[in-house]
Amino acid sequence: MKYQAPKGVSEYFPPRSSWFEHVIWKLEESALAANYRFIETPIFEDTELFARGVGETTDVVTKEMYTFEDRGGRSITLRPEGTAGVIRSIIENGLDRGQLPVKVFYSGPFFRAERPQAGRYRQFFQFGIEAVGVDDPALDAEVISVAHLAFQKLGLTDYQIQINSLGDKESRNIHREDLLSFIRKANFDQETIDRAEKNPLRIFDDKRGEVQEKIKNAPLLSQFLSSESKIKFEQVKSNLDKLQIPYLVNERLVRGLDYYTGTTFEFVHNRLGAQATICGGGRYDGLMETLGGQALSGIGFGLGIDRTLLAMESEGIELKDRQYVDIYIIPISDTAKNLALEMAVNCRRGGFVADVAFGNRGLKGSMKAADKMATHFVLVLGDDELSSGSGRLKRMSDGEEFSVSLTSLVDELRAIL
RNA sequence: GUGGGCGUAGCUCAGCUGGUAGAGCACCCGGUUGUGGUCCGGGAUGUCGCGGGUUCGACCCCCGUCGCUCACCCCA
């Protein structure tokens, strides 16, 4: 094979591509139902935006970005996540100077230069929403509810929502020192310590058993939360209760991006491999300011479309191919060929899905083709039809035939479909 | 960056302790002249990832290489 797709990218082609479309549509539907508006930002941005926004010490920034120089010598990076670009756009276009909160959703490809594995790709598709400018626990709950509703529309059931509060800056700083000294005393290997020095919270995410054992008694952030943070977190939880959205408080839940503060959450699917987080997000208090905007809080989530599809498949959710053909026209003489496409185009103008048996497969072969592509009606065009000006529409579901006039085919279709 | 597994027809895979390749599905044609789904018959398809070595002989053994895949770190 001469060419193959670059390592670690996912491709969606028929029929699976129609499930992919379906997932995106349900996600959009859920966001629109909550009055989020569509935003489309560039796939590449100034490298500095991500470095500042996502955080200089994060793995994403230090080793996972696709960065290159453009012809003008500027450093450009393919977006590794969605929030930084959206916030940049909100600031640049002054959306935060109108009514608040600004509620937007986005969808598209993202890029990270990592070693691929199940559910993790170098180019992956993410859907996300952001609500900027209002710091209200009810909004935190709403954001979670949007993802939850979407997953329910898709038929997913075997997942859990984990939530935690990372508190405000002050609470975090005190905890950080305490946790760091705990880690320093626990004699870890050098690599683990180095990582912890950058962001000690990450140690909670370490999957190695011996590490988990050692941090069993590590000080948790929840013990350091300011009373204000605690109250907000309680409100988020009681809001979720009222919405009857089940969740699990996971005090060790941390996220790999530096901008998160306050409420954080993850939707974790139970039947996926190591990469089981199908949606993750949280509140970010300092991000707007960091990127040069007003000091406004925001909250949002990123939702993995590839992983969602995998999750649906793991639950055995039946995904039907949505493509169908209303009318399939089979010309069986040379003179009929010219007319066939013309009639098909007319049907399309009339709002129907119409296709033609191109090439020379013969009648039988064309009938088989019609059968395979979920065709409602077939019209055979031969010399008889051309001379009489009428034909028989065959309904594939039961074989019944309807005689129709060729010149008023669209109307006839409307009448029987 | 580190470690494990795997590379045989379009797809999923079989191939016993080494004797130069098979199944199912899919695909195409046919079962008489212009009507599909089932059934029956027939057919095409592989440099057995690539390179080297051992051997009379390698898909099967050894080495290298490339690719895929899963996992670690981390994330959607």
DSSP readout, A358-370? -S--HHHHHHHHH
Residues 6 or more apart whose Cβ sits within 8 Å of residue A35: A103
A360: pLDDT confidence band, cut at 50, 70 and 90? Answer: confident
**What is the pLDDT at residue A175?**
85
A219: pLDDT confidence band, cut at 50, 70 and 90? Answer: confident
Please list the helix, strand and coil fractions of chain A in percent, rounded to the nearest 5, in that order.
40, 25, 35
- Whose C1' is closest to the CA of A397: which nucleotide? B37
Give the sheet arrangement for strand A298-304, strand by strand.
A37-38, A102-111, A123-132, A298-304, A277-284, A261-269, A159-165, A248-249
A328: pLDDT confidence band, cut at 50, 70 and 90? Answer: very high
**What is the pLDDT at residue A262?**
92
- Whose C1' is closest to the CA of A118: which nucleotide? B70
Any idea how long chain A is? 417
The dihedrals phi and psi of A187, each to the nearest 5 degrees, come to: 30, 80
> What is the sign, positive or negative, of the torsion defined by CA atoms of A55, A76, A277, A235?
positive
Q: Which positions on strand B lie below 7 Å from a protein C-beta?
A: 1-3, 27-31, 34-37, 67-76
A197: pLDDT confidence band, cut at 50, 70 and 90? Answer: confident
Over residues A399-407, mean pLDDT:
93
Among A13-22, A96-105, A131-140, A200-209, the least confident range: A200-209
> What is the sign, positive or negative, of the torsion defined by CA atoms of A366, A368, A371, A373?
negative
Residues 6 or more apart whose Cβ sits within 8 Å of residue A397: A376
Strand partners, A69: A75
**What is the pLDDT at residue A1?**
64
**What is the pLDDT at residue A68?**
92
Residue at the smallest CA–C1' distance to nucleotide B75: A256
- Whose C1' is closest to the CA of A382: which nucleotide? B34
Gyration radius of chain A over CA positions? 28
**What is the pLDDT at residue A347?**
97
- Whose C1' is closest to the CA of A267: which nucleotide? B76
- Per the omega criterion (within 30 degrees of 0), is the bond before A14 cis? no
Over residues A201-225, mean pLDDT:
80
Report the 10 Å Cβ neighbour count for A163: 22
CA of A380 to C1' of B34 (A): 8
- Whose C1' is closest to the CA of A385: which nucleotide? B34
Over residues A304-309, mean pLDDT:
96
CA of A336 to C1' of B6 (A): 53
Q: Is the pLDDT of residue A45 over 90?
A: yes
Residue at the smallest CA–C1' distance to nucleotide B74: A59
The dihedrals phi and psi of A141, each to the nearest 5 degrees, come to: -65, -35
Q: Is the pLDDT of residue A131 over 90?
A: yes
CA of A2 to C1' of B21 (A): 25
ipTM for the assembly: 0.85
The Cα–Cα gap between A303 and A65 comes to 19
Residue A94 CB burial class (10 angstroms; 0-12, 13-18, ≥19): exposed
Q: Is the pLDDT of residue A55 over 80?
A: yes
CA of A118 to C1' of B64 (A): 28
CA of A60 to C1' of B16 (A): 51
CA of A127 to C1' of B18 (A): 54
Among A13-17, A61-65, A121-125, the range of highest mean pLDDT: A121-125
Domains and CATH numbers, chain A: 16-168+226-314 (3.30.930.10), 325-416 (3.40.50.800)
CA of A362 to C1' of B39 (A): 21
Indicate the pairing of strand A75-78 with strand A66-69: antiparallel
- Whose C1' is closest to the CA of A207: which nucleotide? B72
CA of A297 to C1' of B11 (A): 51
